[in-house]
Structure 1
Amino acid sequence: MNRTLRYVTVGVVAVALLAGGSAAAFAEPAQLHAPTPVVATAPAVAELTAKASATTVNAWQEFRISGIAKGIAAGKKVTVQQKQGAKWVSLPAQAPVNAGGTYSVRVKLGLKGVNQLRITAGAVNSPVVTVTVR
């Protein structure tokens, strides 16, 4: 190899290394400064389950509604709601979601007959649970 060819080769390699590596030296300018695409992830879907410890109770007899609170932060309170006519009314029965993502609420009902209940946490509602009060 003649001396001129060696100098040219060394010069090209030096420029490539100074420019950030061989790939960066031969890349198009748009490829060097292209932003990294941002991938949006879907938010976790919150979900509540509910199960009553008894399906039939006497008036003012205590029972529990327990379930899983998926996607709901530990410490957030869940509330029992009762269907009265066409409206859902919140009862003074609440419990916090524990660190394991479960909850258990003590409930007493005095309204005799079939009661439709659900658990709510903000805009998230559980399926309806039916408890008959004698």
Structure 2
Amino acid sequence: MNRTLRYVAVGTVAVALLAGGSAAAFADQPYDLHSPSPVVATAPAAAQLTAKASATTVNAWQEFRISGTAKGIKAGTKVTVQQKQGSKWVALPAQAPVNTTGTYSVRVKLGLKGVNQLRVGADGTISPVVSVTVR
């Protein structure tokens, strides 16, 4: 047998083995190989807000910032600072939009002396509580 014929024979056997092996590997698949792969629906990720104050202690009416990230919240959506007053959360007149990178920064001034509990809210999503002491 000449060399060329031998290479053709080996190539043919190799292709047959690979094709048979591939067919065996896919034989247990429940769907047709030529159809599109099945689409699996997943729930959208829950929106999340983080918050961090630029200072933990400030003088009355001294400006500070609350900054953070907004995942799953559309750019341009306004975040609002809320302050705990008694047992209620009250919205303060401090808002800022979420930017295109998913971050925000709000300027805040507080006059209520003592430890103030603050959080940020947008579209029904609330951040963890941040404490700022006003002297």
TM-score normalised by the chain length of structure 1: 0.72
Asked if residue 93 in structure 1 is aligned to residue 94 in structure 2, the reply is yes
Q: What residue number does 1:48 align with?
A: 49
Q: Higher Cα Rg: structure 1 or 2? A: 1
Q: What residue number does 1:103 align with?
A: 104
For residues 19-60 of structure 1, what are the alpha-carbon distances to aligned partners after superposition, in whole Å with 9 as ceiling and x for unaligned? Answer: xxxxxxxxxxxx8xxxx9653211121000000000000000
CA RMSD of aligned residues (A): 1.7
The CA distance in 1 between the partners of 2:41 and 2:114, in whole Å, is: 49
Aligned residues: 102
The CA distance in 1 between the partners of 2:134 and 2:39, in whole Å, is: 55
The CA distance in 1 between the partners of 2:87 and 2:123, in whole Å, is: 19
Show the 5 A alignment for 1:49-128.
49-128=50-129
The CA distance in 2 between the partners of 1:82 and 1:76, in whole Å, is: 20
Query: Which residues of structure 1 form unaligned runs of 5+?
Result: 1-30
Instruction: Please identify runs of 4+ aligned residues in structure 1 that moved more than 2 A.
Output: 36-39
The CA distance in 2 between the partners of 1:96 and 1:74, in whole Å, is: 7
Q: Secondary structure at the match of 2:112?
A: coil
Query: Which residues of structure 2 form unaligned runs of 5+?
Result: 1-31
